[in-house]
Amino acid sequence: MAQFAVIGLGSFGETVATELTRLNHDVIGIDTVQRNIENVADRITHAVIADATDEKVLEELNVQKCEAAIVAIGEDIEASILCVLNLKNLGVSKIWVKAKTKSHHMILSHLGIDKIIHPEQDMGIRIAHTLSYPIVSRYMALDHDRFIVKIVIPAQLQGAHLADLMRISSMVRVLMLKRGTTVFYETNAHFTTLQQGDLLILEGLQSDLQRLSESFSP
């Protein structure tokens, strides 16, 4: 069980903190607003009213012992940056920060943090991809151009040969095929006939995956 600190318990921070707790991690949630603390107090390990811009306060809360800290402070960019500087001074090994604006992102990018998060932008991109390629139910970016996608085989592809589809984008790799409760991590495309409801996990370049997903569409 890992320990995490979530600083800022608005909508985004609350979601991160409660989900980490649900995944059986030890979570300390920190906010200056009593209402936000009360909203999560019975759903995470620890919920504390404290000022994260005060390095001494963070040290007393043993935030430096956490595996990672997520800074989800919303509107107050100055507080967000001060908090990040405090976390770095305390030696927190992994710091993820929610950025509110482009200027906020630019400042954070010079502080050597591990990841800058744009929840609204990321969700917008995810929705756009889903609308553009409805066959892709989920995706995860590996780097700038490579993705892992989850595809559920529709009725019109019942009986199709996986090899015929994969020829469209030969550089795409099949990582997993799930049929019912059975999972296949190694599949021979030449001997695999698809069934409606099969779940495919694929990896490849965005352009190759787009071309393949278009062939899956009605």
- The pLDDT tens digits for 38-96 are 999 999 999 999 999 999 999 999 999 999 999 999 778 899 999 999 999 999 989 99
Same domain? For 105 and 129 the reply is no
Helix or strand run (H / E) with residue 14: helix 11-22
| pLDDT of 165 | 79
Q: Which domain CATH number covers 154? A: 3.30.70.1450
Q: What is the DSSP string of 14-77?
A: HHHHHHHHHTT-EEEEEES-HHHHHHHTTTSSEEEE--TT-HHHHHHTTGGGSSEEEE---S-H
| pLDDT tens, residue by residue, 97-146 | 988 888 888 888 899 888 888 776 565 555 555 545 555 556 566 666 67
pTM: 0.63
> 57, 49 in Cβ contact below 8 A?
no
| pLDDT of 131 | 44
Task: Decide which of 66, 101, 117 is a domain's last residue.
Answer: 117
| pLDDT of 48 | 96
Same domain? For 85 and 159 the reply is no
Same domain? For 84 and 136 the reply is no
